[in-house]
Homo-oligomer: A and B are copies of this chain.
């Protein structure tokens, strides 16, 4: 049997005009702005008129700690959306937009897989509706305005050693990580150290995803701290009059994008911030709009539940006033085997004991989600090599935690493969069991917030901070940022800060290496390890083989 590739399946998709897909949700044709026939943006006029409607149910899809075996979180989000529609519910999903740059490094798109995908896949993985390009422009306009201000006399007294705002490109380009700019003489400015991050790492991306409307967007952009003076007074984007022009550049990008699943169900794809130095969720505007037009909204968060779900709850839901009704934790037998100590090359051999052992990871995530008052359900994303005995171990683990696991075959079967899960999710979401609460109150000091996450979620014994970090915590409190949530940048592969510690390690120490203030996005980034904000290309990049074939179709991208 030949298994079809994602792109082959996507090309066979019978997409409907996006206006028809929107009509399913009662969205009229004049409420959407078409980008081609299968992509559209939702107009602000329509969004603004939604306020008085009741909200649908919000379902978060998260996962066990990621392993190289793969979990299929996006695939499950799409599959569950199709399953919900199949059992007669008005459901849609709200996902992140993928980044362009990485597509030219490693092969593989980010729009689901198998028969659980959103389309048009090629567009989604390339320029899509231009949101990320708009973010690149807005970010780099601010960068240019900083150096321009210094060039023309530096009235604000920016300390050029303390410019914290770098530049961005949506490209994997290691040569730009660290640069010296403004070389070449008097007319090019004052040389200083600088560098580029990839666009998705921009604070502008995080802001776009947290903004409630254009006004809030502009206010947050204005709040960005770009540099400090010699006596360490913050310089904000507003001080450079950059917030208005940046908002103008982002006005279309702030409108949620609508596409469809392979089964012609509606999907919003909007925003895609990093899941380490940012909160890793699609936009608040997309999620909120989805809740107004659909009865069930399935959304996802980055990485495993220790990072993605925690940030979804503690940052996005807290700030946007969202209240999730259920949480689906995606697991695969293969990944659980790896958490149980099996090497990647041995995954094909049946090993129910390893699965049982690896379920320690799953169980802790289930328990953690419970700490936010959200009922968890487990989705087993089936692989061909999974055996019944292995699957039973996952079912058992879920039951031991007071919940249920469902075998899902959406990758092979589309929405048909998640019907049982969908039915149960509907039941849970309507059970009244959910009583969402963030893990810590706004009023808790920043250092305690970090410690709470470390001990409650990561099950660490404690955090460790050197003098500089302790001082920085105090500084941030004194500057008036003590009420912000914290955004943890930790390895996604382990509950600890050691990526090789799979399963459910405990009692470890979480060393805090650095604190970064995102004053516009309104969180404090807490860095516990090496964070790469500008990826490089591999020795043989995907770009090598990406091309148009004789039929004008894209080869090599997926």
Residues on A facing B (Cβ under 8 Å): 33-37, 44, 100, 104, 126-127, 130, 133-134, 136-137, 140-141, 143-145, 147-148, 151-153, 167, 169-184, 187-189, 193-195, 214, 218, 241-245, 247-249, 251-252, 536-537, 539, 541-548, 552, 554, 556-557
Contact = CB atoms under 8 A, between A and B. Distances in A.
- Copies of this protein in the assembly total 2
A182 B175 contact: yes
A45 B4 CA distance: 28
A508 to B, nearest CB: 27
Contacts of A554: 248, 251
A481 B174 CA distance: 34
A36 B127 CA distance: 16
Contacts of A249: 126-127
Contact of A144 (B172, B544, B545): B172
A173 B188 CA distance: 9
Given A548-B247, A557-B248, A189 B174 contact: yes
A444 B398 CA distance: 81
Contacts of A183: 177-180, 193
Contacts of A137: 100, 127, 133, 170-171
A543 B142 CA distance: 9
Contact of A536 (B127, B148, B218, B541): B148
Nearest to A246: B543
Contact of A244 (B140, B169, B547): B547
A543 B141 contact: yes
Contacts of A194: 175, 179
A545 B241 contact: yes
A251 B548 contact: yes
Contacts of A547: 218, 243-245, 247-248
A349 B194 CA distance: 52
B104 A245 contact: yes
Given A104-B245, A126-B249, A241-B545, 16 more contacts: A33-B36, A34-B35, A140-B173, A141-B171, A143-B173, A143-B175, A147-B175, A174-B188, A175-B194, A218-B547, A242-B543, A244-B548, A245-B544, A245-B556, A248-B546, A248-B557
Nearest to A128: B130
Contacts of A143: 173, 175
A181 to B, nearest CB: 5
Given A245-B546, A248-B547, A546-B245, A181 B179 contact: yes
A171 B140 contact: yes
7 contacts: A35-B35, A104-B144, A127-B249, A145-B543, A148-B536, A179-B182, A245-B546
Contacts of A174: 147-148, 151, 182, 187-189
Contacts of A181: 175-176, 179
Contacts of A177: 182-184, 188
A512 to B, nearest CB: 23
Contacts of A189: 174-175
Nearest to A549: B244
Given A34-B37, A140-B173, A241 B180 contact: no
A148 B552 contact: no
A254 to B, nearest CB: 11
Contacts of A167: 176
Nearest to A539: B152
Contacts of A248: 126, 546-548, 554, 557
A539 to B, nearest CB: 5
A213 to B, nearest CB: 10
Given A543-B245, A548-B248, A548-B251, A147 B173 contact: yes
Given A137-B100, A137-B127, A537-B144, A556 B244 contact: yes
Chain B CB count within 10 A is highest, among A44, A243, A249, for: A249
Contacts of A179: 179-183, 194
A476 to B, nearest CB: 27
Contacts of A244: 543, 545-548, 556
A529 to B, nearest CB: 15
Contact of A104 (B141, B176, B548): B141
A432 B252 CA distance: 48
